[in-house]
Amino acid sequence: MANHKSALKRIRSNEKRRVLNRYQHKTTRNAIKKLREITDAKEAQKMLPSVISMIDKLAKKNVIHSNKAGNLKSQLTKHVAAI
């Protein structure tokens, strides 16, 4: 167990960040799946910017790698354009 006040605080803050990161990552993955299932072009066009924004936020916080974010955005944009 931690011996210093700062180490105890670090444990608390790490747990808070971990839970928040998991929530945001899972929410983004669900949004991506939902976007891939959409068959209506207008609805997909409307949803794409919000999903891209979610992906960018995860990459900015280093929850996912920036290259993975780029690949996801590229694939989703191609998918929406093909509908």
With 0-12 CB in 10 A as exposed, 13-18 as middle and 19+ as buried, what is 65?
A: exposed
pLDDT tens string 12-30: 999 999 999 999 999 999 9
- So what's the pLDDT on residue 19? 97
Counting as low any pLDDT under 70, the low residues of the chain are none
The pLDDT score that the predictor gives to residue 3 is 84
CA neighbor of 72 nearest in space, from 36, 18, 45: 36
pLDDT at 83: 87
The whole-number pLDDT of residue 7 equals 93
